[in-house]
Structure 1
Amino acid sequence: MMAAAQTGHGVPPPSLSAGVVGSFAYFTVKDRLPTILTKVIDTIHRNKNKFFEEFGEEGVLAEKKTISFLSKLRNELQTDKVVLPLSDGFGDADSWNQYLQRQQRLQGDHESVSWFKSPWLYMECYMYRRIQEALWFNPPISDFDVFNEGKTQSFFESQQAVMALCTHLEGINKNVEQLSQNELAEHFNKLLRVSLWGNKCDLSISAGRENSQKASPLDSLSSLQPFILVDDANMVWSTLLSAQKPGPSGTTTPGRVDIVLDNAGFELVTDLVLADFLVSSGLACEIHFHGKCSPWFVSDVTAQDFQWTIQQSVRANHKWMSKCGNQWQTYLKEGVWSYHDHPFWTLPNEFCDMAADAPELYATLQRADLVLFKGDLNYRKLTGDREWDHTVGFGTALQGFRPAPLCSLRTLKANIQVGLQPGQGERLSSQEQDWMTSGKYGVIQFYSPHSEH
């Protein structure tokens, strides 16, 4: 059974009443979000000359108006103002405003839906959407990515780790056809863990501070193994094998893997390397990547980030990194890889809402044989960002979201974790008060609609 919903976490189901904000959510709203907003304002101001060079006085005026809008937003946040409907008229505005009305019904009062007294996940998402509103209201700087500097810096500061990873992939791929199934499984396990720990590099958690990967991630896999609290890697491997369909003359056709991305920079490279291995090893015949429609949670991947990362790899002055980049471009040109975005990924909704609110996206995921969800935000949306008892099953916490076999690769940075063994959460809490938020621990957590576990 589910524990009482944590106050300030998620939209409670009809059987639960909405509570007031708890201490953790209140602290985070008051401290981290204003810091991020202040950095956004500073970034826009520092680019004033760039806007002038590109757009003349019109660019400077847009910069001033955007900063004024964001300064008012920061004041709304810090003084617990009532949440305002979106008024920009963009395609997702109606969905956001309907969500606000839903909150007002749940909390029973228009005034109670405010920054400090509303679900924490909703308020985080709402802030990022209002940042986009500020830009969209002010052409010609509407397309400016306020988080781009941090994302590119993270990528370049992780170059040694990226080169080591690409070199490792080349070593696998040159002999991949001779590898036994056990050897393939061993390589898969390593690269899955690299993708997991790549999720440590999250700029929204560090409020935009430098958080790159310096050393080769492969060197630390053994020492990090004890910090994986749930390790369902074998189930993920079995799912990939069972997805292979018989073809003519005794051949098999591999299945499709979808990857719901999280952070740009080093983490995205770990996802690309894993996807490359899945294709080159014959474990998958196509990979569908899912990213954000607009800059989100500081470092989340957009289409621009995705293309830019591959282009930078192509241009790298490193033989194997450049070779990887060229191979990734070829995969995209041939349709083996594809990138998609959808407005649902940047709505505040839990994923159990997807079948009703974004049926075409849900149907897309249903065509996958395996869906990998990267990172903490996706985990929070998978589980409704509620304070479940730690021993509640992952499948239960998904609340009916079951498009396909799925796996969460997540380092813990929020106060939620399900699927633990009895006593495991209590032991961790007695040893480390911040075990759910420090990013020290991770999970490889699997669920299949075909079999509860």
Structure 2
Amino acid sequence: MAADQTSIVVPPSLSAKVVGSFAYLTVKDRLPTILTKVIDTIHRNKNKFFEEYGEEGIQAEKQTISLLSKLRNELQTDKPIVALNDGLADADSWNRYLLRQQGLQGDQEVVSWFKSPWLFVECYMYRKIQEALWLNPPISDYDVFNEGKTQSFFESQQAIMTLCTYFEGISKNIDDISEHHLQLHFNQLLKVSLWGNKCDLSISAGMENSQKSSPIDSLVSLQPFILVDHSDAVWSTLISTRRQQQSGKACSTRVDIVLDNAGFELVTDLVLADFLVSFGLAHEVRFLGKSFPWFVSDVTSNDFHWTIRQTMAANHKWMSQRGVQWQRYVKEGVWSYHDHPFWTQPHEFCDMATEAPDLYATLQEANLVLFKGDLNYRKLAGDRDWDHTAGFEAALRGFGPAPLCSLRTLKANIQVGLQPGQGSKLSSQDPDWMTSGKYAVIQFYSPNSEQ
């Protein structure tokens, strides 16, 4: 059942205006570092631009760097946020959002980098990176984060091979596996996908996000760090449809995965999706990603298809076999990749039904929606200063197109749905528990049932 929205006191948005907060340190230190790396990457590739486009490429490189340097200066000196004027299709939506922020802040404060909602200004920075490239053809389509994403994939090869070998072992018994063992394997792969979210380039400002150790072997030692674990509820949602099908009822299960990071995390998502299809827990999986490079390591269409091709080409029997199967799923339409402008905008997800009704209606057709990662969690809960004991459903503020689950390692100072005293105990044991990526949650909500 939906929560009574009128009874919920909605806390303020997290913001860099709180000096010393994680939002403040992100805007002060991490975002300028990311911009500097973007500028360096474009400069390092100027010879490539010259080889491909001649003098036009060099001119585009210089002008893009000039725009990004100006952006960095505006960020560091807390200048007002300015409207977008690049003619891209989403500019009007962004500018309407900015006007709303100006209305909310009134005459007391301008909408600036340090005085506005953290979620908004962080998203705005990535949108402005896209603007700087877009305004400078012929390098408009250049992915400034591609090098880090591909490096993450290649440096995680051993872990990927281990995961594909594990999958091969369980798929040998595909016809006579018991429901109990099926659930055990599902829980394993759901948690591999969860912990894959530790591999995040935006939190490390682009430094390191590969997986070196065996993702299966580490699950037992990581279990105590899962603060909320609703994996049984996720399993119940999937198995109920499978049972209906086995009893002769005509039904089809669709799982949507709202992706986060490319590299190793994406591979864990693909393996989980492969398991769901192979064992009849889903008949269709839709992967929802970004329409342009975003938050350093987020998945784009290019990343999705590149990862499948690289897995196919691997010099490892079980890894390449999975890649071939994934390509087959895509060709047959069992798997599909989709992006939407809403995913690269600053809106909280409770605004989706109004701002992107077509996307909301599409999600309503899914039997389960998995939201990967920290940014999706921030948008699910509105990136607000919630009490840790506030309910997950309450924080969603009416968002519930379908049964949904957040798989997230904590990298921002927001967390709801904890038991009384759990948050204060964690704070006394580990002051950085909300931002280190050491802890995780599997949080489930279904609009069809009471929590």
**Which TM-score tier does this pair reach, normalised by the shorter chain?**
over 0.9
8 Å CA contact 1:245–1:252 kept in 2: the answer is no
Instruction: Could you list the structure 1 runs, at least 4 aligned residues long, displaced by more than 6 angstroms after superposition.
Output: none
Q: Distance in 2 between matches of 1:21 and 1:107?
A: 15
Aligned position for 2:429: 431
Structure 1 pair 103–318 and aligned structure 2 pair: CA distance change class (3 A): same
Matches within 5 A, 1:311-326: 311-326=309-324
2:405 to 404, 407, 410: 407
Aligned position for 1:108: 106
2:142 is aligned with 1:144: yes
Q: Distance in 2 between matches of 1:411 and 1:128?
A: 22
SS in 1 for 2:216: helix
Aligned position for 1:295: 293
Offset at residue 387 of structure 1 (A):
1.1
Offset at residue 242 of structure 1 (A):
1.9
8 Å CA contact 2:17–2:24 kept in 1: the answer is no
Offset at residue 110 of structure 1 (A):
8.7
Cα displacement string for residues 142-174 of structure 1 (whole angstroms, at most 9, x for unaligned residues)? 000000000000000000000000111111112
Matches within 5 A, 1:83-102: 83-102=81-100
Matches within 5 A, 1:134-173: 134-173=132-171
Cα displacement string for residues 339-367 of structure 1 (whole angstroms, at most 9, x for unaligned residues)? 10000000000000000010000011000
Aligned position for 2:260: 262
SS in 2 for 1:450: coil
Aligned position for 2:350: 352
2:304 to 298, 303, 306: 306
1:338 to 336, 339, 342: 336
8 Å CA contact 2:83–2:98 kept in 1: the answer is yes
Offset at residue 210 of structure 1 (A):
1.5
Aligned position for 2:4: none
Offset at residue 32 of structure 1 (A):
0.4
Structure 1 pair 52–309 and aligned structure 2 pair: CA distance change class (3 A): same
Q: Distance in 2 between matches of 1:414 and 1:277?
A: 30
Aligned residues: 444
Q: What amino acid is the match of 1:64?
A: K
Q: What amino acid is the match of 1:118?
A: S
Q: What amino acid is the match of 2:159?
A: A
8 Å CA contact 1:162–1:266 kept in 2: the answer is yes
Offset at residue 192 of structure 1 (A):
0.2
SS in 2 for 1:290: strand
1:442 to 433, 440, 443: 440
Structure 1 pair 353–418 and aligned structure 2 pair: CA distance change class (3 A): same
Offset at residue 243 of structure 1 (A):
2.8
Q: Distance in 1 between matches of 2:104 and 2:449?
A: 34
2:5 is aligned with 1:23: no
2:70 is aligned with 1:72: yes
SS in 2 for 1:230: strand
Q: Distance in 2 between matches of 1:401 and 1:318?
A: 43
Q: What amino acid is the match of 2:11?
A: A
Aligned position for 1:12: none
Structure 1 pair 247–156 and aligned structure 2 pair: CA distance change class (3 A): closer
Aligned position for 2:3: none
SS in 1 for 2:441: strand
Cα displacement string for residues 60-100 of structure 1 (whole angstroms, at most 9, x for unaligned residues)? 00000000000000000000000010010100000000000
TM-score calculated relative to the size of structure 1: 0.96
SS in 2 for 1:178: coil
1:180 to 175, 178, 181: 178
Q: Distance in 2 between matches of 1:295 and 1:51?
A: 19
Aligned position for 1:5: 11
Moved more, 352-361 or 22-31: 22-31
Offset at residue 8 of structure 1 (A):
3.5
In the alignment, structure 1 segments of 5+ residues that lack a partner are: 10-18
SS in 2 for 1:217: coil
Q: Distance in 1 between matches of 2:113 and 2:43?
A: 26
Q: What amino acid is the match of 1:23?
A: G
SS in 2 for 1:45: helix
Offset at residue 451 of structure 1 (A):
1.5
8 Å CA contact 1:157–1:212 kept in 2: the answer is yes
Q: What amino acid is the match of 1:375?
A: G
SS in 2 for 1:284: coil
8 Å CA contact 2:293–2:299 kept in 1: the answer is yes
Q: What amino acid is the match of 2:375?
A: L
Structure 1 pair 38–2 and aligned structure 2 pair: CA distance change class (3 A): farther
Percent identity between the two aligned chains: 75
Structure 1 pair 111–134 and aligned structure 2 pair: CA distance change class (3 A): farther
SS in 1 for 2:66: helix
Structure 1 pair 437–76 and aligned structure 2 pair: CA distance change class (3 A): same
Cα displacement string for residues 402-435 of structure 1 (whole angstroms, at most 9, x for unaligned residues)? 1000000000000000000111001001111110
Structure 1 pair 8–319 and aligned structure 2 pair: CA distance change class (3 A): same
Q: What amino acid is the match of 2:227?
A: L
Offset at residue 109 of structure 1 (A):
3.1
8 Å CA contact 1:350–1:383 kept in 2: the answer is yes
Matches within 5 A, 1:22-61: 22-24=19-21, 25-61=23-59
Aligned position for 2:279: 281
8 Å CA contact 1:291–1:345 kept in 2: the answer is yes
Q: Distance in 2 between matches of 1:431 and 1:8?
A: 23
Q: Distance in 2 between matches of 1:413 and 1:140?
A: 36
8 Å CA contact 1:256–1:287 kept in 2: the answer is yes
